[in-house]
Structure 1
Amino acid sequence: MRTFADKLVNILQRQLHPVYLLFGGEPLLIQESRTHIEQRAKADGFSEVFRFAITTQTDWNEIFDACNAMSLFAEKKIIELELPESGVNQAISKQLLSVQQMLNPDVILLVQGSKLTKSQENAKWFKALESHGLWVSCLTPDAQRLPQFVMQRCNQMGLKPDSEAVQMLAQWHEGNLLALTQSLEKLCLLYPDGVLTLVRIESALSRHNHFTAFNWIDAMLAGKAKRSQRILRELHNEGIEAVILLRTLQKELNTLMSYKQALHQQSLQQIFDQYRVWNNKRPLYTAALNRHTPQALYAMVCTLANAEHTAKTDYDNSVWPILTQLTLDMSIQKHP
């Protein structure tokens, strides 16, 4: 069974599962989900917590012993496994399957890790654990879901923002939920009546956007010119190296050109299946492929190559104006 982090509290009120899988790229949601599960489990007598950070040096016998320790006088326990950033290799997969086979009513298993790939979702170890419990998605809300997330947080804290305030909070804190939480706590102290307006927010807060190159790429693929330009400006202000953005864009352009070439012999659905493209990325690639001709993509590749050469050899000239133009071309260009 799968749910999102913002639905977890309601589910915990109804039922306690033997296994919880917390996966996603948002540390705040993983931390809060883990806390909610621990509090609910402790209320049911699971008083001991054993935490293990899984590495190549992990002594799995300690974990197995914790799972197996059952007696009339033994405490019910929560066993938490933090998987490595690099993911689950074959050795760890084997051990996780062993842990699953040792589960008993006196143990709640909590496994946390970064964002799952499609192959990891289909892995034997993951399916075995998911069949016994709850998969909690802890992904950062995207730009469309973030206003709803902001409104939900405000309601929980007794804040009453108007629609413009919600949009501003979402825009200022996109990609940085921890800063959003801190800002809302500050607003609670500053405005005991809970009323939030644009004027109040602007006078109390500074921007806390935290974008990545991948947010920039997704905005361009989707054809959102204003958003992609805004993200590029934020990345520039944060001091990201232009070469990193150039190489990231180069990878996406090469991907689009490969898909364009393959379209002569396959349908887009077949191409996506062959390359195992994530479902949430398919509409973005579809939009970009419909918007750009092969000639337009090739022209952008040439411009990008020249920009990278300039970045590496001509330190007196900035490539940011070229990146700005490429961002605009990638977002709206339809013809070569």
Structure 2
Amino acid sequence: MQLKTDKLSQQLQQKLLPVYWVSGDELLLCQEACDKIRATCRQQGFDERQVLNADRSFDWGLLYEAGASLSLFAQKRLIELRLSSSKPGDKGAKALQEYLARPPVDTVLLINSPRFDSATLKTKWAKALLDSQDCALLQVQPIARHGLSAWIQQRLSQQGFSADLDALELIVTRVEGNLLAAVQEIEKLKLLTDETHLSLAVIQAAIADSSRYDVFSLTDAALAGDIARTVRIINGLRHEGTEIPLLLWAVARDLRQLAQASQKAQQLGIDAALRHVWPAPRKTLFAQALKRLTPKDLAPLFLLAQQIDEQGKGQAPGDAWSTLTEVLLKLAGQPIFTQ
């Protein structure tokens, strides 16, 4: 059956279903939905937790074994199945249908996957999941740009804040649709201001007084070619426990915009290529970067960004922080030493 995310808490209060499938591309909202399910499981004595990461080479027999094996440590357990795609393939579809036909007692299966597309929802196995009363499918919808201000306002209200419209718009502009970044901004406001009503001036003052290790200043330092500051900021962010996905989002965002501008600059010149970049300080930073980086220089950085994503998920060898540092140093104009 389909279950709306805003009805999840109500459903969990009624009973725990054998299977929950959380599908979506908005990391924060999916994480919060999964956290609610995990918390309810813990409250009801599901003390054992097993995690299965299902990539393309995943052995679906492991799901059957997990469901069939007896728990060694607890009577109730939570099995988490993390899919790299919402299309599990023929073997995966068969395994999921067989599991749902005979779900183990005292076991909750929590599946987390990217967003379902309309074609996937029409497949036989997906319809079987939707028709089952033992499975809840939560399709987590992203927050549209026009709804982001209201979403941030709601989050601020939960933390005891109210805000003027222009203050909200400043936050919306800074986070550029990234909900993780929005939550981080709100957390910083809790630390940086004693005000409960947020005017534009209050927000601007808080931003000015914020930590020197700021996600938004990281790529600014790299774009400016300030290698020493880039290294200081990334080391500080790592020390503060900043999540890799948030940093990667900021870097990938600027890489895409810089690559597009670099292509245009080859034909139209830097000024014309940056005509639509806003605000003005960002335009200056991009202009500095374009003077030292060509499309050929930028192309390998996208491959490294993909590598960071895989390393952060444990799907590739190497350290995501080291690779991220490599990308930023190259963006700043100084490739790291190679062996």
Cα deviation, residue 17, structure 1: 2.5
CA distance in 2, matches of 1:153, 1:118: 30
2:254 matched to 1:238? yes
SS at match of 1:105: coil
CA distance in 1, matches of 2:271, 2:258: 7
Cα deviation, residue 53, structure 1: 0.8
1:142-157 pair list within 5 angstroms: 142-157=144-159
Listed one character per residue, the Cα deviations across residues 210-241 of structure 1 (whole Å, up to 9, x for unaligned) are: xxxxxxxxxxxxxxxxxxxxxxxx99982426
Kept in 1: contact 2:22–2:140 (CA 8 A)? yes
| Distance change (3 Å), C-alpha of 1:202 and 1:73 | closer
| Distance change (3 Å), C-alpha of 1:315 and 1:173 | closer
* Counterpart in the other structure of 1:94: 94
* Counterpart in the other structure of 2:53: 53
| 1:39 maps to amino acid | A
Candidates 168, 184, 187, aligned match of 2:186 = 184
Q: Which runs of 5+ in 2 are unaligned?
A: 209-213, 217-249, 277-339
Listed one character per residue, the Cα deviations across residues 91-110 of structure 1 (whole Å, up to 9, x for unaligned) are: 22122212222313311111
Listed one character per residue, the Cα deviations across residues 277-335 of structure 1 (whole Å, up to 9, x for unaligned) are: xxxxxxxxxxxxxxxxxxxxxxxxxxxxxxxxx949x836338847979xxxxxxxxxx
Cα deviation, residue 243, structure 1: 7.1
CA distance in 1, matches of 2:65, 2:191: 47
Kept in 2: contact 1:187–1:204 (CA 8 A)? yes
| 2:126 maps to amino acid | F
Answer with 45-54 or 59-68: which moved more. 59-68
Cα deviation, residue 88, structure 1: 2.3
Q: Taking structure 1 as the reference length, what is the TM-score of the superposition?
A: 0.60
| Distance change (3 Å), C-alpha of 1:71 and 1:157 | same
1:285-304 pair list within 5 angstroms: none
Q: Taking structure 2 as the reference length, what is the TM-score of the superposition?
A: 0.59
Kept in 2: contact 1:154–1:184 (CA 8 A)? yes
CA distance in 2, matches of 1:75, 1:190: 46
* Counterpart in the other structure of 2:268: 317
| Distance change (3 Å), C-alpha of 1:158 and 1:18 | farther
Kept in 2: contact 1:311–1:319 (CA 8 A)? no
Kept in 1: contact 2:46–2:74 (CA 8 A)? no
Question: Paired residues, what number?
Answer: 236
Cα deviation, residue 54, structure 1: 0.7
Kept in 2: contact 1:68–1:102 (CA 8 A)? no
CA distance in 2, matches of 1:106, 1:160: 44
2:141 matched to 1:139? yes
| Distance change (3 Å), C-alpha of 1:199 and 1:154 | same
Kept in 2: contact 1:22–1:137 (CA 8 A)? yes
* Counterpart in the other structure of 1:8: 8
CA distance in 2, matches of 1:119, 1:129: 15
| Distance change (3 Å), C-alpha of 1:8 and 1:66 | same
| Distance change (3 Å), C-alpha of 1:148 and 1:8 | farther
Q: Which runs of 5+ in 1 are unaligned?
A: 210-233, 246-309, 326-336
| Distance change (3 Å), C-alpha of 1:140 and 1:79 | same
| Distance change (3 Å), C-alpha of 1:324 and 1:163 | closer
CA distance in 2, matches of 1:10, 1:205: 38
* Counterpart in the other structure of 1:304: none
Listed one character per residue, the Cα deviations across residues 52-108 of structure 1 (whole Å, up to 9, x for unaligned) are: 111233233332122124589852111111112473222221222122223133111
Kept in 2: contact 1:70–1:106 (CA 8 A)? no
Candidates 155, 161, 178, aligned match of 1:159 = 161
| 2:135 maps to amino acid | G
Q: What is the aligned-residue RMSD (CA, Å)?
A: 3.5
SS at match of 1:145: helix
Listed one character per residue, the Cα deviations across residues 114-168 of structure 1 (whole Å, up to 9, x for unaligned) are: 1211011122222323322322232320012212211221222222223433333
Kept in 2: contact 1:160–1:195 (CA 8 A)? yes
| Distance change (3 Å), C-alpha of 1:170 and 1:23 | same
Kept in 2: contact 1:18–1:109 (CA 8 A)? yes
Q: Once the two structures are aligned, what percentage of the paired residues are identical?
A: 29
1:202-217 pair list within 5 angstroms: 202-205=204-207
